[in-house]
C-alpha cells in the first residue's frame, strides 16, 4: 500500500529568503513605511482628532475644554435641516444610479468603437468632468439666472415671466441634480467605453451569425462582459454622491431656505462657517461612518465574487 506524503510548506525563513531574492521584501520595506506614515498623518490622525472634538462645544480656538458628551450628536439627529440634507444626499445617490449611469452606458454603447468621429464625441462628453466643480457651479448659476442667463433668454423668447430656478424651493434641488448628472456622466462613460473595448469582437460576431439583434447583443453579450466595470462605476457614484459639496456651494449655497443642503454642505454651513467645530466634527464622524459602512456593505454584497 502506497502512502502519499503531503508536501511540506516552506518555512518562514525560506519564504523570506525567496522574497529577498526576487526583490519583493525589499520593495515592501522601502515603499510601505512612507505610505503608512502619510496615511497616519493625513487620514488616521485627523479622524482621531475629529472624533475627540465631536464631544466638545468648541469654536476652534485654544484647547477644547467644554465637554458636552453626545450632545452634538443629539442636536444633529434632532435637526430638521440635517434630515433634509440626508434626504437630498439619498436623492443624489438615486439620480446617480438611475439617471447618470444609464445615460453614460447608453452613450458608451454608441461611441465605444475606435473611430475619429467617436473620439470627438468622447472628448465633448468628457469635458464637463475635466471642468473644476466650482467653475461648473458658477457657470450653471449664470445659466439659471432669471435676469441675464439662458433661462431669462428662453423666458423672453417664449413670452414667459422671469423664472428664478435657484431661488425656487421646489425647483432648486432639481437644478442641482441636473448639474451633478451633467458633470459626472462623462467619467462613468469612459469607464464603460474602456470595458466595452475589451469585449472580444469574435463573441459579438458569433452572436450576429446566430441571428441576434443589436439589442440582444447588448443585453446578452456586452453588458454581462462589462459587469465588473458597472459594479465599480456604481461604487464610485454612491461614494461620490455622499461627498457632493463643490458644485452646490456656488450654485445655491444650500438655499433657498436650506432646501439643497447635502451632508457635506450641512457640515460646512453649520459647523465651519459658524465656528462650531465640535458640532461639525460630529457631522464628519457620522458621514465617515456612513461612507465606510456603505463601502463595506457594497463590497460584501456586490464585489464578493469579483476577481481581485
For 122-141, what is each residue's pLDDT tens digit? 999 999 999 999 999 999 99
**What are 24-46's pLDDT values in tens digits?**
767 777 878 888 888 888 888 88
Q: What is the pLDDT of residues 183-225, one digit of tens each?
A: 999 999 999 999 999 988 898 889 888 888 889 999 989 999 9
For residues 262 and 89, the answer to whether their CB atoms sit within 8 Å is yes
Name the residue with cell 461639525: 280
What pLDDT score was predicted for residue 307? 47
pLDDT digits (tens, 9 = 90+) for 216-271: 999 989 999 999 999 999 999 999 999 999 999 999 999 899 999 999 999 999 99
Question: Residue 151: pLDDT above 90?
Answer: no
Handedness of CA 38, 40, 43, 46 (dihedral sign): negative
pTM (2 d.p.): 0.86
pLDDT value of position 211: 87
CB 115 within 8 A of CB 257: no
Cβ neighbours of residue 171 closer than 8 Å, sequence gap 6 or more: 165
Task: Provide the 8-state DSSP code for 165.
Answer: G
How is domain 91-261 classified at the architecture level of CATH?
Orthogonal Bundle (1.10)
In angstroms, the Cα distances linking 185 to 17, 128, 240 are 49, 9, 12
57 grid coordinates: 462645544
Domain boundaries, the chain: 91-261
pLDDT of residue 144 exceeding 60, the answer is yes
pLDDT digits (tens, 9 = 90+) for 37-83: 888 888 888 888 889 999 999 988 888 889 999 999 999 999 999 99
**Could you tell me which residues are beta bridge partners of residue 56?**
67
Q: How far apart are CA 247 and CA 244, in angstroms?
A: 7
The answer on pLDDT for 15 being more than 70 is no
Residue 9 main-chain phi, psi, to 5 deg: -70, 145
Which residues is 67 bridged to in the sheet?
A: 56
pLDDT at residue 114 tops 80: yes
Q: How confident is the model at residue 153 (pLDDT cuts 50, 70, 90)?
A: confident
Amino acid at each position: 500500500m502506497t502512502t502519499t506524503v503531503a508536501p511540506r510548506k516552506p518555512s518562514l525563513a525560506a519564504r523570506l529568503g525567496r522574497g529577498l531574492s526576487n526583490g519583493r521584501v525589499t520593495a515592501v520595506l522601502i515603499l510601505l513605511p512612507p505610505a503608512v506614515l502619510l496615511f497616519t498623518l493625513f487620514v488616521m490622525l485627523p479622524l482621531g482628532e475629529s472624533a475627540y472634538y465631536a464631544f466638545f462645544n468648541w469654536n476652534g480656538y485654544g484647547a477644547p475644554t467644554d465637554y458636552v458628551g453626545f450632545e452634538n450628536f443629539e442636536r444633529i439627529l434632532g435637526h430638521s435641516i440635517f434630515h433634509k440634507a440626508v434626504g437630498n444626499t439619498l436623492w443624489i445617490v438615486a439620480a446617480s444610479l438611475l439617471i447618470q449611469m444609464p445615460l453614460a452606458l447608453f452613450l458608451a454603447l454608441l461611441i465605444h468603437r475606435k473611430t475619429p468621429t467617436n473620439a470627438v464625441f468622447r472628448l465633448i462628453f468628457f469635458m464637463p468632468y475635466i471642468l473644476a466643480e466650482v467653475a461648473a457651479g458658477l457657470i450653471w448659476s449664470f445659466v439659471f439666472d432669471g435676469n441675464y442667463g439662458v433661462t431669462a433668454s428662453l423666458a423672453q423668447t417664449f413670452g414667459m415671466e422671469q423664472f428664478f430656478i435657484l431661488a425656487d424651493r421646489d425647483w432648486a434641488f432639481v437644478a442641482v441634480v441636473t448639474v451633478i448628472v451633467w458633470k459626472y456622466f462623462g467619467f462613468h462613460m469612459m469607464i464603460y467605453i474602456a470595458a466595452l473595448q475589451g469585449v472580444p469582437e469574435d463573441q459579438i460576431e458569433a452572436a450576429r451569425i446566430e441571428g441576434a439583434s443589436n439589442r440582444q447583443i447588448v443585453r446578452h453579450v456586452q453588458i454581462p462582459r462589462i459587469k465588473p466595470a458597472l459594479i465599480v462605476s456604481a461604487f464610485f457614484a454612491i461614494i461620490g454622491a455622499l461627498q457632493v459639496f463643490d458644485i452646490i456651494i456656488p450654485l445655491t449655497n444650500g438655499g433657498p431656505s436650506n432646501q439643497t443642503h447635502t451632508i457635506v454642505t450641512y457640515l460646512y454651513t453649520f459647523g465651519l462657517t459658524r465656528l462650531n467645530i465640535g458640532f461639525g466634527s460630529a457631522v464628519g464622524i457620522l458621514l465617515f461612518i456612513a461612507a465606510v459602512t456603505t463601502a463595506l456593505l457594497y463590497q460584501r454584497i456586490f464585489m464578493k465574487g469579483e476577481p481581485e
